[in-house]
Structure 1
Amino acid sequence: MKPIMKRLRVFLWVAAWVLCFPGPAQANAGVPMIFLTLPGMALALVPVMFLEMQVLAKGLGLTRRVAFKVSAWANLLTTVVGVPLTWAILTVLEGVTGGDRAYGIDTPAKKLLAVTWQAPWLIPYEADHNLYWMVPAAMMWLLVPTFFMSWWLEYLAAARMLRDADRARLQSAMFRANLLSYAFLELCALGWLLFEIVFVV
């Protein structure tokens, strides 16, 4: 439990530091990806709402107004609860399985582990200046488990709002809506990664 408590203290310290002094914040203690994924998800909230509205309206025979209301509330729930909860679970798993140690990134396999297993709380490897590609790559990976959490939470939210809807049909529509919105988010993260590789390096 000690590594987890240590990470919690670091997380709270970094959170306070970023909020109070955003300029000088450093990644020396690692990079808690929640600080990058959550703002990114918030920025993408409006286009995601509209994308999912289209799927829900067509798949469930709803008016666009009702479909947008369902999409808006469901996506707000995902952003406020789903994204932080997914990150917290993955961070705990990273810590208890030994992912909180620096293993290096000198092989393709280690690079892959650094942005998957260690994605929730990135090891910075600042001496090698690798965060430019690690952050968007880790974000692409984190979108995968977040998709499943989002689908589940949004289905629960929609089921409460559309009590008369067929549950199987609603679940299918929510799956397709999230598949579309997360494909959009993955493309955004991929675009960021390619931009960093082509124009920044």
Structure 2
Amino acid sequence: MKPFRLSLAALLAAATAIFLTPQAAQANAGVPMIFLTLPGMTLALAPVILLEMLVLSSRLGISRGSALKVSCAANAFTTFVGFPLTWLALLVLEMVTGGGNAYGLRDTLHKILAVTWQAPWMIPYEDNHSLEWMVPAAGMWLLIPSFFTSWWLELRVAARMLPDVPRAWVKSAVLRANLLTYALLEALVLGYFLYVVLWVL
């Protein structure tokens, strides 16, 4: 736990330093994706908990009541702690590598960079409703690192709550549960992205 606290303190210190720089001042005109994605993740929390409960119960041979407790604790922790910390880490990476500047959307490469490298704090552009497609595209990208954070954190929560179950079983079950729920989340955001691109723009 101590290394985790030290890493968190270092991350927060780096973020504070970054936001005191002129580059960050320019990026402050952008869109912090955490304020768009965290409400969505919160709305998805209940169905995610239920789906992962079913996977844990089936894969580990434990009661649904026990699986529900584990799923609730693990998903609440990853949603309200892990997801924001993942966003913060990616934001620090974006800012220290120059992602706080506006590079335009003049070609495919710049469009990809705008919704990947600059996804944590997106730069708004005046091009015809650019944020309408950029937000879901960035959301799909951010789900990828969030998946790995979620798996890593949920494994630790589940292993602690299920000390009598072999860790290898827990690791496999948590992986399958997260693969299922994140695949569904990606499909949902992809569906919205396609709707925007094909019928709105």
TM-score range with shorter-chain normalisation? 0.7 to 0.9
TM-score (norm 1): 0.86
TM-score (norm 2): 0.86
Task: Work out whether residues 18 and 92 of structure 2, in 8 Å CA contact, stay in contact via their aligned partners in 1.
Answer: no
- Partner Cα distance (1:116, 1:78) in 2: 21
Q: In the superposition, relative to structure 1, how do residues 28 and 128 fare at CA in structure 2: closer, same or farther (>3 Å)?
A: farther
Which residue in 2 is equivalent to 1:105? 105
Greater Cα offset, 81-90 or 189-198: 189-198
Which residue in 2 is equivalent to 1:13? none
Give unpaired runs (5+ residues) of structure 2. 1-13
Residue 142 (str. 1) matches residue 157 (str. 2): no
- Partner Cα distance (2:182, 2:158) in 1: 18
Which residue in 1 is equivalent to 2:3? none
Give unpaired runs (5+ residues) of structure 1. 11-26
> Secondary structure of 2:94's partner?
helix
Residue 198 of structure 1 and its aligned partner are, at CA, apart by: 2.5
Task: Report % sequence identity.
Answer: 60
- 1:20-50 CA-to-partner distances (Å, cap 9, x unmatched) read xxxxxxx981000000110010000011111
Matched AA of 1:103:
Y
Q: Map residues 85-164 of structure 1 onto 2, 5 A cutoff.
A: 85-164=85-164
Residue 68 of structure 1 and its aligned partner are, at CA, apart by: 1.2
Residue 4 (str. 1) matches residue 19 (str. 2): yes
- 1:82-128 CA-to-partner distances (Å, cap 9, x unmatched) read 11000000000000011111111111011111101110000111344
- Partner Cα distance (2:20, 2:60) in 1: 45
- Partner Cα distance (1:29, 1:89) in 2: 20
- CA RMSD in angstroms, aligned pairs only: 2.0
Residue 4 of structure 1 and its aligned partner are, at CA, apart by: 3.4
Task: Work out whether residues 4 and 96 of structure 1, in 8 Å CA contact, stay in contact via their aligned partners in 2.
Answer: no
Task: Work out whether residues 34 and 84 of structure 1, in 8 Å CA contact, stay in contact via their aligned partners in 2.
Answer: yes
Deviating beyond 4 angstroms after TM superposition, the runs of 4 or more aligned structure 1 residues are none
